[in-house]
Structure 1
Amino acid sequence: MPRVADHEERRRQIADAVCALISESGLDAVTVARTAATAGMSVGLVQHYFRTKDEMLLHAFKEVSARIRARADGHIREGIEHQQPIARVLARALAEFIPLDEGRRTEFRVARAFAGRALDAPALAEVDVETARALREEIAQAVHNGKECGEVEPDLDPVPAAVRLAAVTEGLAMQVYRDAEGAAGSAGLVTDVLDAELAAVFTGECRQYANRS
């Protein structure tokens, strides 16, 4: 009986190859032929899944975004399970977007390459905008949840707070990427900055945990 092709696995292999090329040599290194060679596939097989460079880049960006989201969701699930304050959980989730190790640096390079390409490609720009918007909405929801449990003041508007926290996270990510070996690349400094920004929003204590020992 012939083996059924695992299409999702092949698409992941292609995305990994695109990420590897961008990480090693930049966006200009990404071609269908080089991607095929890096993935250990034929050019024809890669073209079966993706006809153009933009299609491959879009898929790689979505794969990277999904990986980051999965790690952030893991922190959220763990926080809920252990009944941790929202601010603490959000700090760990946002840190996943900051390139503090080699894996996250590769993800950041792919995201930056995608954003650069999106400047001249409306279809890619739409995805870039929606991805950023989704992050802000998730942060705003966390702030709203904080208002309900007492960690956030009742009159605080979640939207400006979410924009501020997203902007700080994006700015930190760029600072760390540019100066990984310097002061900006310190995980401790990143933690301090995130904690300070979150503390300005999450100023109270959740009523659910107030009486815990």
Structure 2
Amino acid sequence: MPRIVDHHQRRALIARAFQRLLAAEGLGGVSFSRVAAEAGVSIGLIQHYFAGRDALLRFAYEDAVGRMSERVRARVRNGEAAGAPTAEVLLDSLAELLPLDEERMIEYRVRQGLQIEASHETGLAQVARRSGAELLGYVTAMVDNGVERGEVAAGVDAPLASRMILATVQGVADQAAMSGPDAFPVGDVLRPVVGLVFTSPPPR
């Protein structure tokens, strides 16, 4: 009986080897031979799944932002199922954008490194725009939900408020990446900013 090959699993194996190398050494230190050694596969297998460097970069970028987004959605589902205030659900889920452990640090470095490449590579730019739009849409929906629940004042510009929150998250992520996640309490930085938007406790 022929062995069934999980092609998506193989692509993910290769992409995550690439991500680890990029996070450790920067994009300039990554080659197909290095990725093959890190993943424990042949260069030919990488070339079978990825037509070239750009295809691997794009898949690795999509994989990183996709895993991050799925963890955000899981935190939202769990928070809403527990009946937590919208502001608390938002704060909890925003932690997935921060480099607070090894997995999230790798994803942060991948996103940062490939966002730079996206400035002159169309495929990566499409991934960056789509990911940014999804994040903005997610936070905007949370702000709109806060308005409906009485946690956010009526008339608040939800997209503008969401951009303020996300800009702060990016700044906190940059500081945490440079100085280490234990260098300062990230929650103490994010909570007041979210509190500028979510000004009222939810009704009991």
C-alpha contact (below 8 Å) 2:61/2:127 kept by paired residues: no
Q: Deviations over 1:150-173 (max 9, x none)?
A: 010011110100110111111111
After superposition, residues 191-206 of structure 1 pair within 5 angstroms as 191-206=187-202
SS of residue paired to 2:145: helix
Alignment-derived partner of residue 55 in structure 1:
55
Any stretches of 5+ residues in structure 2 without a counterpart? none
Work out whether residues 61 and 114 of structure 1, in 8 Å CA contact, stay in contact via their aligned partners in 2.
Answer: yes
**Per-residue deviation, residues 6-50 of structure 1 (Å, max 9, x unmatched):** 101101101111011112211112222221121111111111111
Instruction: For structure 1, list consecutive stretches of 5 or more residues without a partner in the other structure.
Output: none
Aligned to 2:143: 143
Mapping of residues 1-213 of structure 1, within 5 Å: 1-180=1-180, 185-186=181-182, 189-207=185-203, 210=204
Taking structure 2 as the reference length, the TM-score comes to 0.95
Is the contact made by 1:100 and 1:187 (CA closer than 8 Å) also made in structure 2? Answer: no
CA RMSD of aligned residues (A): 1.3
Contact 2:62 2:127 in 1 (8 A): no
CA gap 1:179/1:187 in 2 versus in 1, 3 angstroms = closer
- 1:32, 1:52 within 8 Å by CA — same for their partners in 2? no
Equivalent-residue separation in structure 2 for 1:179 and 1:142 (angstroms): 30
Find the aligned partners of 2:64 and 2:160 in 1 and give their Cα distance: 27
- Letter aligned with residue 131 of structure 2: T
- Equivalent residues of 2:152, 2:197 under 8 A apart: yes
Alignment check: 8 A CA contact 2:176 2:183 kept: no
> 1:147 touches 1:154 (CA, 8 Å); kept in 2?
yes
Code of the residue aligned with 1:148 in structure 2: it is E
Inter-CA distance 17–66: structure 2 relative to 1 (3 Å threshold): same
In structure 2, how many angstroms separate the alpha carbons of the residues matched to 1:64 and 1:123? Answer: 15
The number of aligned residues is 204
